[in-house]
Amino acid sequence: MLLLALSASGHAHAAPAKPSKTVYKVPKQIKATCSVPVEGQIMNWLATVPDGSTVQFGAGGCYGQDGTITLNGRRDVVIDGQGS
């Protein structure tokens, strides 16, 4: 199961999100078997993805967590969990 906590930047009237053109897939070295916690690796990877992108998790993957995955101060990032 994937649990994300998102923090809005506080803008009162944000423009509608434009369709994302670039899809970034979770790197294969981040295990999707729930065998170990990977939230730190996921947060480090998400920090490298530019605003306005789509991030995509492995279809049906299981990303182990001991804590919460957070995204702060990001804009127009689409998360496609694909059933993870």
Domain span at residue 39 reads 21-80
pLDDT tens for residues 18-72?
A: 554 799 999 999 999 999 999 999 999 999 999 999 999 999 999 999 999 998 9
The structure tokens 């979770």 sit at: 26
- Domain assignment present for 39: yes
What pLDDT was estimated at residue 45? Answer: 96
- Domain assignment present for 10: no
- Residue 84: how many CB atoms within 10 A of its CB? 17
Number of domains the chain is built from: 1
- Domain assignment present for 58: yes
1 vs 79, more confident: 79
Under the banding of pLDDT at 50, 70 and 90, the label for residue 16 is: low
- Domain assignment present for 60: yes
- Domain assignment present for 7: no
Local structure of 36: helix, strand or coil: strand
